[in-house]
């Protein structure tokens, strides 16, 4: 089975721009979660989608949004980029239908905001 894929792997944007990141989960996985990883803050949970519905949401401003499509692929959008948005954005997929389901992570998208 192919793993979780994220595109693009690297992005450079300037302040004020917007960006869309994409995540393709493992086949059969219906849950997709997004995390922001920075050296000082560790992994910060953004949101989780399950069967096209947002199931959980972290404490991020409304500039961060996401969606999930019927094939479970997910996109994350960040509008009006700020310097502090520079981070590694990780996507994780899971079957999502049982308590002990683990998450499988993609390699991440490295976003740099100038």
Residue 90 contacts residue 34 (beta carbons within 8 Å): yes
Q: How far is the CB of 40 from another protein (least distance, A)?
A: 9
Handedness of CA 91, 107, 111, 39 (dihedral sign): positive
Q: Hey, which residues between 49 and 108 contact another protein (CB under 8 A)?
A: 55-56, 58, 90, 92, 96-108
- Which residues have C-beta within 8 Å of that of residue 62, sequence separation ≥ 6? none
Choose the binding region for another protein from 14-22, 39-47, 65-73, 78-86 (rule: CB under 8 A).
39-47
Interacting residues with another protein (CB under 8 A): 4, 33, 35, 41-43, 45, 48, 55-56, 58, 90, 92, 96-108
């Amino acid at each position: 089975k192919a793993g979780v894929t994220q595109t693009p792997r690297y992005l450079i944007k300037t302040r004020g721009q917007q960006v869309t990141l994409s995540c393709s989960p493992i086949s059969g996985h219906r849950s997709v979660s997004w995390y922001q990883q920075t050296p000082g803050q560790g992994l910060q949970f953004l949101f989780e989608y399950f069967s096209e519905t947002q199931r959980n949401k972290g404490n991020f401003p409304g500039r961060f949004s996401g969606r999930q499509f019927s094939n479970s692929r997910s996109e994350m959008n960040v509008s009006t980029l700020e310097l502090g948005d520079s981070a590694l954005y990780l996507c994780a997929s899971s079957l999502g239908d049982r308590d002990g389901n683990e998450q499988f992570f993609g390699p991440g998208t490295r976003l740099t905001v100038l």
